Amino acid sequence: MNICVFCGSASGNNPVYADAAKELASLLCEKNATLIYGGGNIGLMGILADEVMHGGGKVIGVIPDFLMSKEVGHSGISQLEVVASMHERKRRMADLADAFIALPGGWGTLDELAEILTWKQLGLVNTSVGLLNTNSYFNSLISQMQTMVKDGFLHSKNLQELNVGETPKELLIQLGLISV
């Protein structure tokens, strides 16, 4: 099982975000799942990758060549693929993934999440997508998505396909990756 995780190249101001990334890493290792992610060694990306590696798991990072210095490509993971563009990065991660999870992050995380949700809506991917809503981070985004449904810009079935969990364990149960 390959789980693609979108998350920040920053750690955030509250340690609960790093703690959630560490807990998710531990659960991925327990399930012998491979982490697919953006390839950086900083922020939540680095924390998640380091924890999976520390737990004996496998990590595949995908990073565009122009971000190698900005996000500091992680040299301590199982495999680091360097690609030419952001689009190629997202396509490669999607090709490798059996499911997607978004942790808190900034514009890049939001971009990756929006693109994979669009691809799912269009039938270009047929995998589960989940939000790890640590510390209610995604509440405003979820509210916006509900407004999109209410105002007729998003079908309710598309929103219903998005899994939301407050904890890594809760989200992985919703995604069917672990049992109760």
Would 15 be classed as within a structural domain?
yes
Structure confidence at residue 46 (pLDDT): 96
Place of tokens 């209410």: 150
Q: Which two tokens stand for residue 78?
A: 């199982």
**Structure tokens given for 34:** 């491979």
Q: Is residue 180 part of a domain?
A: no
Q: At what angle do helices 107-122 and 86-96 cross, to 10 degrees?
A: 60
Domain count, the chain: 1
Q: Is the dihedral of CA 85, 86, 91, 97 positive or negative?
A: positive
Considering the entire predicted model, what is its pTM?
Answer: 0.95
- List the domain range (segments joined by +) for residue 135: 2-171
Please report, in tens digits, the pLDDT of each residue of the chain (180 residues total): 999 999 999 999 999 999 999 999 999 999 999 999 999 999 999 999 999 999 999 999 999 999 987 768 999 999 999 999 999 999 999 999 999 999 999 999 999 999 999 999 999 999 999 999 999 999 999 999 999 999 999 999 999 999 999 999 999 999 999 887
Any domain includes 127: yes
CATH of the domain at 83: 3.40.50.450
Strands (E), the chain: 2-6, 34-37, 59-64, 79-83, 99-102, 128-132, 162-165
Task: Say if residues 11 and 44 touch (Cβ distance below 8 Å).
Answer: yes
The verdict on residue 150 lying in a domain is: yes
What's the pLDDT score for residue 71? 63
